[in-house]
């Protein structure tokens, strides 16, 4: 097990990139800026190590990073309708950074924060503890929030992300990571032939602005039924209104049944790679990069639609305005603790 550290100068800012390496050669590279995962090297069926996430070729492009490649997201992952919510009779207004709506915590969100990083390692695991204090009123959110995120890589090729939060005022919080996975390796192909299995029998219906309507939909007999495995291509080619609204693919919140040990499994036949997701989060936003801009300079090639698959494990910001959704409310003094593990095979 090892940790390598690289210092990067980006327009006068000093960033550090930490690379976690296990005894089998798998590695995960993470910036202190945004907690961004810039690269994950995992073996294919023949043992060849290749990158399985989207990352920029030039580090300075992370300063903007409109697609949130690899970044930590918070305070609230996802969209908050009309950029406001009510709490104890008071209206809190948030910056509108996607039309009239508030997306992924606003600016500067977790993705544009330089985190304090403490590395750790032993014979079985290697990792980083990232910490940050979001002050009361930042981007309109109430309460001082103490946030800690830990990345841990083990010798069984599993990367765990643990999120801990504590606020001194009732507030809202659901954090996630916005890595785009592509198991073909080095972005050789897009993700339309990736097969996904989800332990989910319900998904959240969206309006034309990708805001939840308040309706939970049954996946049965739809292109949203991933319980027995389904290719991403099915949603890309579908004429279903929800697939079309999302830009011909998926950008939807699926509620986990938690009836299986794994909440999600992704397979790519050509490379033989498999990604298993185990989480205590109530659901996941699966985004298939349907609206990803073309022409961004990535590590291996230029970006295009369907280049990566995001599995954003989280609660639902729809719970702010609708009943019956996994809650993002956090009471004063209540400890927020969530863990997601991505295991590669």
* Distance of alpha carbon 248 from the chain centroid: 20
The one catalytic residue among 50, 138, 268, 312: 312
Please give the Cα distance from 295 to 28 (Å, whole number).
Answer: 25
Please give the Cα distance from 328 to 317 (Å, whole number).
Answer: 6
Give, for 137, the enclosing helix (H) or strand (E): none
Contact 324, 216 (CB under 8 A): yes
Give, for 243, the enclosing helix (H) or strand (E): helix 241-245
Please give the Cα distance from 263 to 283 (Å, whole number).
Answer: 9
Active site residue 146: no
Active site residue 104: no
Q: Give the number of other Cβ atoms within 10 Å of residue 86's Cβ.
A: 10
What are the tokens at 17?
């990139």
The one catalytic residue among 102, 104, 111, 178: 178
What are the tokens at 150?
């830990």
Contact 309, 288 (CB under 8 A): yes
Q: What are the catalytic residues?
A: 178, 312
């Amino acid at each position: 097990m090892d940790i390598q550290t690289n210092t990067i100068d980006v327009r006068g800012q000093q960033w550090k990139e930490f690379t976690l390496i296990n005894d089998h050669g798998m590695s995960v590279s993470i910036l202190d800026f945004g907690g961004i995962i810039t690269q994950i090297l995992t073996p294919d069926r023949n043992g060849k190590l290749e990158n399985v996430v989207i990352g920029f070729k030039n580090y300075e492009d992370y300063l903007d990073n409109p697609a949130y490649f690899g970044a930590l997201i918070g305070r609230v992952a996802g969209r908050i309708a009309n950029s406001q919510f009510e709490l104890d009779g008071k209206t809190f207004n948030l910056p509108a950074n996607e039309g009239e709506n508030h997306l992924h915590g606003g600016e500067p969100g977790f993705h544009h924060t330089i985190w304090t990083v403490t590395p750790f390692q032993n014979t079985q695991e290697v990792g980083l503890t990232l910490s940050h204090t979001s002050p009361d009123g930042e981007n309109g959110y109430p309460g001082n929030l103490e946030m800690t995120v830990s990345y841990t890589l083990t010798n069984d090729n599993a990367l765990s992300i643990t999120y801990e939060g504590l606020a001194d005022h009732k507030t809202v919080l659901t954090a996630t990571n916005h890595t785009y996975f592509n198991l073909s390796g080095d972005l050789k192909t897009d993700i339309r032939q990736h097969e996904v299995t989800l332990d989910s029998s319900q998904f959240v219906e969206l309006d034309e602005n990708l805001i939840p309507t308040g309706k939970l939909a049954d996946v049965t007999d739809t292109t949203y039924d991933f319980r027995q495995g389904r290719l991403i291509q099915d949603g890309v080619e579908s004429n279903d209104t929800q697939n079309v609204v999302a830009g011909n693919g998926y950008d939807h919140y699926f509620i986990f049944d938690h009836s299986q040990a794994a909440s999600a499994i992704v397979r790519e036949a050509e490379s033989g790679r498999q990604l298993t997701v185990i989480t205590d989060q109530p659901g996941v936003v699966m985004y298939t990069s349907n609206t990803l801009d073309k022409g961004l300079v990535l590590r291996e090639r230029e970006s295009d639609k369907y280049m990566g698959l995001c599995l954003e494990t989280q609660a639902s910001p729809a719970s702010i305005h609708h009943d019956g959704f996994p809650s993002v409310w956090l009471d004063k003094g209540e400890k927020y603790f969530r863990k997601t593990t991505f295991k590669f095979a």
